[in-house]
Amino acid sequence: MPELNLILLGPPGSGKGTQGERLQDEHRLPYYATGDILRAAVKDQSEIGRKAQEYMDRGDLVPDDVIIGVICERIQDEEASDGFILDGFPRTVPQAEALDSEMERLGRTLSVALLIDVPDDEVVRRLGGRRTCVEQGHVFHVEFDPPAEEGVCDVCGGELIVREDDRDDVIRNRLEQYHEKTEPLVVYYEGKGILRKVDGARGLDEVAEEIRGELAIARAEGEV
Ligand code: AP5
Query: What are the structural domains, with CATH classification, of the chain?
Result: 4-30+77-119+168-220 (3.40.50.300)
**Residue 224: pLDDT over 90:** no
Geometric angle at alpha carbon 135, from 129 and 136, rounded to 5°:
80
Beta bridge partners of 7: 86, 113
Q: What are the C-alpha distances in Å from 158 to residues 35, 49, 131, 149, 155?
A: 18, 22, 11, 11, 8
- Pocket residues: Cβ below 6 A from ligand 1: 10, 12-18, 34-35, 38, 55-56, 59-62, 67, 88-89, 91, 95, 126, 130, 139-141, 144-145, 165, 174, 203-204, 207
Percent of the chain with pLDDT over 90: 94
Mutate to test the pocket of ligand 1, among 62, 68, 86, 115 (most ligand atoms within 8 A of CB): 62
Is 219 annotated in the active site? no
**Residue 180: pLDDT over 70:** yes
Is 16 annotated in the active site? yes
User: Per-residue pLDDT tens for 187-223?
Assistant: 999 999 999 999 999 999 999 999 999 999 999 888 7
Sign of CA dihedral 74, 76, 82, 88: positive
**Ligand 1 centroid to 11 CA: how many Å?**
7
| Residue nearest to ligand 1 atom 38, measured at CA | 61
Alpha helices in 142-202, H assignment, sequence order: 168-177, 184-191
Contact in structure between 69 and 99 (CB atoms under 8 Å): no
Q: What are the C-alpha distances in Å from 80 to residues 53, 61, 73, 196, 197?
A: 27, 25, 10, 22, 24
Is 202 annotated in the active site? no
In this prediction the pTM is: 0.95
